[in-house]
Every structure is written in structure tokens, then in C-alpha cells.
Amino acid sequence: MAEIIAIASGKGGVGKSFLSSSLAMSLNAGGHSSLLVDADLGGANLHNFLGYKIPPVGIYNFLREKNQLEEIITHTPMGVDFVAGSGDILGIAHITKVERSRVIEKLRQTPYRFVILDLGAGTSFNTVDLFNLAEKKIVAMNSEPTAIENAYGFIKVALYRYLERFLSADHVFADVNKKLRNRSASYPDVELLISDVERVDAEVGSFIRKFVNDYKIGMVLNIVRFKKELNVFYGFETILKKYLSIVVEKLGFIPYDDRVSESIRLMQPFYNAYPESGTASCINDIRDMVLTKL
């Protein structure tokens, strides 16, 4: 069974697709076969990071044209196997919960060691639910305040949505659930939520506490120009611990590198073109952290 690695961010344009494609190539180079999936359903562009101008056959064909999963996997010249997104944005921006589970289950049954999901920006149910279905959850950001705020918001929505679904199975938690839907206003701090649940049912309360404590997020800081930007990691970790009581694993950083956008323009995947660069070595460090810590 393949393990799912999901890469999200909250804010757009912070480097999810660059990280996903580079991580897949790095895992492959390290002998861990990986399937890369464009799960940015409303804005698929991962194919550009693999040297394709237009997406080859992809996830649309699986969900809407009834192709088998094996038929929609592209074997790229870089050695990475790839499931493209849909060029037709309106065609597939939203998929149902059943479709999400079906595609994830099928991906898990593929013979790869890992399946990497490049998710869309924002907090749509598509993105948040796919993130919650993954065994390894990664959030990418840069050091800009907007990216940090959106990364925090994304993680909070993802955690609360998971809890909301879990609690909605039992009507005795109807009040808690109602407040939960009102997210930040009612529960700025996850401990307040856990105390409310504990008041209704102590056992469920301690279960929820355990789940929250086990909800692990890996963080990657991208587009780093100055060393001092790394302080963002420590600040972010403190805030997540304080308000959401979850564990953060600092997976590493990627420097700003001019050759990233150039390689997209030239249709030559960065990791492949510059495997000996300092940037590729940072990506390998992140890969090793994903393998050992996440």
C-alpha cells in the first residue's frame, strides 16, 4: 500500500507545485518510488513543472471518463510517474466526497511507496479533505506575513473540519458542532473545544485530545533569501502548539533560486537539471526528514 503525502499551503504561489515535483524526483532518486498527482483541481499546472505544456491524460479521465487508474498514469522522461490535472477548469473544480475517497483508495492500492498530492491553495473542502486523508501532511509557506497567516488558517480549518466530521456522527455533540462551524469565533483555542466535548462525554473528550496531539504537520519554508527568515519556523511552531496543541515538524527550507522559474520556462525540471545544486541538496534534506520524522 502506498502512503499518501499531501502538500498544501493556504496562500497560493508559495511553491507547492515546485516542492511536490522536486520531492517526487528526490524520493525516486533515493530509491523510494513515488507517484506525483496534480490534485489542484481548479488550477492544475503541475505538468509545467515536468516539462509538459498541456496536461496529458489525467485525473479527469479517471473521474468522469471512467478510465482505469493505470491508464491515466504518465511515465515522464524524468522517471517520475505522474497523474495530471485537468486543463478544463470548470469541468472538475469540484468533486464529491465519494469521488475523493474513491480516488484516494485507488491511489493507495498502486504499487508505489508514496503518492504525492499537490493540492490547490485555499480551504475548499476538496483541498482540506484530501489533506486530512493523507498519512503525511506538509504545509509549504514563505516568510511573508500573509503566507504565514494563511498557513495557520489552513491548518486550523483542516483540524476543525476533521473534528467536526467525527463529532457530527453523534447528536449529543450537536451544540459543540454548531459552535465548531463558527470556527475561529467560538473556538480560538482548541483546548476550549476539548473542554466542551469533555463536559458532554469525558471519554470522547480524551479521544479528541489524543487525536489533536497526534495531528502532525510537516512545515517547509520556501523562497528563503535571508537566514533570519528561518525564525518564522520557531514563531509558527510556538503558535500552533499554543492555540491548536498540535505537533509541528520543521522539515527544512528551500532558498530563493533564479533557476526555478527559468527551468519552468525552459520546460526542464529543476531537480533534474541541477541535481548537484545547493537547492537540490536542501530538497534532499527535506526528503530525508519526511522519511524519518513525519
Ligand X SMILES: Nc1ncnc2c1ncn2[C@@H]1O[C@H](COP(=O)(O)OP(=O)(O)OP(=O)(O)O)[C@@H](O)[C@H]1O
Give the relative orientation of helices 174-181 and 145-167 as an angle to the nearest 10 degrees.
160
Q: How far is the CB of 265 from ligand X (least distance, A)?
A: 9
Q: How far is the CB of 12 from ligand X (least distance, A)?
A: 3
- Cα separation, 238 vs 69, in Å, equals 41
SS3 percent helix, strand, coil of the chain, rounded to 5, is 55, 15, 30
Q: Binders of Mg ion among 17-46, rule CB under 5 A?
A: 17
Measured from the CB atom, is 190 or 260 closer to ligand X? 260
Measured from the CB atom, is 207 or 226 closer to ligand X? 226
Measured from the CB atom, is 43 or 87 closer to ligand X? 43
Give the other-Cβ count within 10 Å of 75's Cβ. Answer: 9
Q: How far is the CB of 35 from ligand X (least distance, A)?
A: 18
- 16 scored as a contact of ligand X (CB under 6 A): yes
Beta bridge partners of 114: 3, 34
Contact stretch for ligand X (CB under 6 A) within 5-13, 102-110, 158-166, 193-201: 5-13
- 209 scored as a contact of ligand X (CB under 6 A): no
- Cα separation, 212 vs 194, in Å, equals 9
Beta bridge partners of 7: 118, 138
Binding ligand X (rule: CB under 6 A), the pick from 14, 107, 141, 240 is: 14
Contact (Cβ atoms closer than 8 angstroms) between residue 40 and residue 30: no
- 16 scored as a contact of Mg ion (CB under 5 A): yes
Contact stretch for ligand X (CB under 6 A) within 82-90, 103-111, 235-243, 256-264: 256-264
Nearest to 16 by CA among 110, 130, 165: 130
Q: Which residue do the cell numbers 480551504 mark? A: 123
Residues forming contacts to ligand X in the complex (CB under 6 A) are 9, 12-18, 40, 43, 121, 222-223, 254, 256-257, 260-261, 264
Residues forming contacts to Mg ion in the complex (CB under 5 A) are 16-17
